[in-house]
Structure 1
Amino acid sequence: MVNQVTGRWKVKEPRLQELAERAKELLKATKSSLSWAPREENKDADALSNEALDGPAKPAQSALTGKGADDTAAFPAERLERVTGSIYIAHGSEDYAVDLLHKACTCPSFQHRKRCKHLEAAERLA
C-alpha cells in the first residue's frame, strides 16, 4: 500500500481506492511520510494486510482429520451457483468465479495462497 499511497503505483483494487485517498489526506494533514519495506523484512504487516483483505488465514490442518481446527470460516455451499459442470459463482460481498477443473478461484485469497474457502466449498459439493 505504501507505493500506492505515495503515488508510485496506481491503486487498482476498488475497495482500497477510497482508503488510499484518505491515507494521502491524513499524511498531508499530519505532515507525515511513509517508507516502503520489503515483505521479507515486514512479515507481520504483510500478514495483517492480507487478513484485512481476505479474512483470517485458515488454521493448520490436523494431521488426524485433514481438516482445519476451526471450520467456522467455511464458505456456505448454498451461496455457490453452478454455471457449468465445473464452474461456480461464489456469491457474497463480492462475487468470484470458481473453476473446479483447474482448481482456481478469482478471489484475492486464492491469488495469494492458491487455496480459498470458495474453492474448498465447491470441492465439497462436487
Structure 2
Amino acid sequence: MEIRDNSDCIVSSKQVDTNYFSFFKNENIEASVDTWYEGINDYDFELGCIKRNDNIFEFTRIIWKSSENLGCATACCKTKGILICKYDNNTNKPGYFADNVGTIDTMYVLDNLNNGIHIMKNDHSDKRTQS
C-alpha cells in the first residue's frame, strides 16, 4: 500500500484487514475510532454479518476478539492527512462473527460522554468511567 498522490493523500489500493480515515489538518484524529465504531448501527447482532459494507467491517475490525496485532500510521499531505490501521489477518472471517463480535447482550458499548469514555456492559454489571 502506498500513498499515490502526496497532495491529496489518495491511497492507491485498499487492503483487507485495514481501516482508513482521512482528516483535515484542523480535525481531531481521535474521531477516527468514533467513525469506525458507528458501524455498530449497521451490524445485526442476532443474525451476524449478513450485510457486507465498509461501515460494518470497520466496526468489527476494532472489536474483533481474536485479533492480537495492530499497527497504525499517519501520513500528512498538503491539504489533509490519512490514518491507516492494519489488523492481523484474523478479522472479519465468515463463520466467526458470533464468537468474535458477540451478541448485543455481551457487547461492551462505548458511549462518548462530555468528560471522556464511558464503558458499560449491557447487563449493567460492569460500569467504568474515564474522565
Q: TM-score, normalised by structure 1?
A: 0.26
Q: TM-score, normalised by structure 2?
A: 0.25
Q: Which has the higher strand share?
A: 2
Q: Which has the higher helix share?
A: 1
Greater RCO (CA < 8 Å, at least 6 residues apart): 2
For the pair shown, the structure with the greater C-alpha radius of gyration is 1
